Chain A
């Protein structure tokens, strides 16, 4: 009887309800803990995403700030994109000319994210030969002579050093033009590398400079760049990688 009574008690709806209640509370606690864990994970994930975005934006900000420091003035400037191997002559952020870089290297490794250099002087490694006007020859004759042997980018040196403030130097070196024959390209390329090496050996190379960036580009581009440069200009160095 007593057993039956106790059995009746254990089967009572009250006891079943209690059990259900306890189970529900335990389940809710487990679910809450799980949700809290998930929200912690989501927050961490968002935090990481935001930090990544801040890093990207900070880089962009540094590059644009450096660009703006030159772009705000009307003087043309050079933008040297280290990682994309590109040189541009720009005005107010607009490119006037664009050149590809075949090879680039810098003493001391890759440059910082964005730097601005200021040109002091350009030292050509080849002499530029200019035609002479014969006094008394007259303007018409002089003009005809000039037209026959045109003065242009091809008259410019293809190898030169752009010496900048703070002991920095940008060395522009030319690869032989594609228009030359294969042998001529091989010969000229070998000669230029040899003369570069001799300058290094005999100490005429740009030693003693804080930083040296050596840029190899096509002969035509190197000459056209020289031809286009104003008296004073800045150089923006960008390394986005």
Chain B
């Protein structure tokens, strides 16, 4: 009889024995984040949803910022002038449209005889835009040009005009500065100008054709 009773209770006993260790194992299973306080069992679904939504908002904001930064760079051709290497390039994104050697300002100083006026022949750094472009430009010589040549400064404006010295084209970028050609091609690559950027005829022609009013120029 006892044996029979024992036999009958076996399934129930076995079941409990099988389940208990699993349950105990579950309860004592280590949490990767350490012990979980009882109240954290009650993390509201709303809290997690709020956090997930915050993550989504931040991710979207970051995507927008990254896009804004990348889109702030012009999608049209730009001119980059690296004065330390005397290189000029027109780029469309990462694609080089035209590049070549150039010359920048000599950094020299000139003073008039009275010492009242001085000029420093530097190429400015920073951001500029193409303000205009001219074919067959005529140079209107400034005062320093006459002083440098040891000539009297003319009173008549027309006596300042000089053709065929700036090359076939000139691209203006403000304050009297131009990208233009040169008669002294052997000096390209050295900083010998009065502040303008000199390039050879081939590069100049391509720049003239591709540049538009408003084209960005960065000189650095």
A residues sitting closer than 8 Å to B (CB atoms) are: 4, 7, 10-11, 16, 19-20, 23-24, 26-27, 30-31, 33-41, 43-48, 50-51, 53-54, 57-58, 60-61, 64-65, 67-68, 71-72, 74-76, 89, 91-94, 96-97, 130-133, 135-140, 142-147, 150-153, 155, 224, 227-233
Q: How far is the CB of A134 from chain B (nearest CB, A)?
A: 9
Which of A50, A54, A67, A155 has a CB less than 8 Å from the CB of B107?
A: A155
Q: Is B136 an interface residue (CB 8 A)?
A: no
The answer to whether A57 touches B55, judged by C-beta atoms less than 8 angstroms apart, is yes
In Å, the complex CA distance between A71 and B73 comes to 8
B residues sitting closer than 8 Å to A (CB atoms) are: 1, 4-5, 8-9, 11-12, 15-16, 19-20, 22-23, 26-27, 29, 31-33, 36, 40-43, 47-48, 51-52, 54-55, 58-59, 61-62, 65-66, 68-70, 72-74, 80, 82-84, 105-113, 120-121, 124-127, 145, 147-150, 184, 187, 190-192, 216, 218, 220
The answer to whether A64 touches B66, judged by C-beta atoms less than 8 angstroms apart, is yes
Given contacts A133-B148, A136-B149, A147-B190, contact A48 B112 (CB under 8 A): no
Q: Residues of B contacting A53 with CB < 8 Å?
A: 55
The answer to whether A68 touches B65, judged by C-beta atoms less than 8 angstroms apart, is yes
Q: Residues of A contacting B26 with CB < 8 Å?
A: 31, 34-35, 37-38
In Å, the complex CA distance between A229 and B219 comes to 9
The answer to whether B125 touches A229, judged by C-beta atoms less than 8 angstroms apart, is yes
The answer to whether B72 touches A131, judged by C-beta atoms less than 8 angstroms apart, is no
The answer to whether A132 touches B111, judged by C-beta atoms less than 8 angstroms apart, is yes
Q: Which 7 residue pairs spanning A and B have beta carbons closest together? A: A136-B150, A230-B126, A40-B41, A151-B107, A34-B26, A30-B23, A146-B106
Residue of A nearest to B43 (CB): A43
Q: How far is the CB of B191 from chain A (nearest CB, A)?
A: 5
The answer to whether A130 touches B120, judged by C-beta atoms less than 8 angstroms apart, is yes
The answer to whether B58 touches A23, judged by C-beta atoms less than 8 angstroms apart, is no
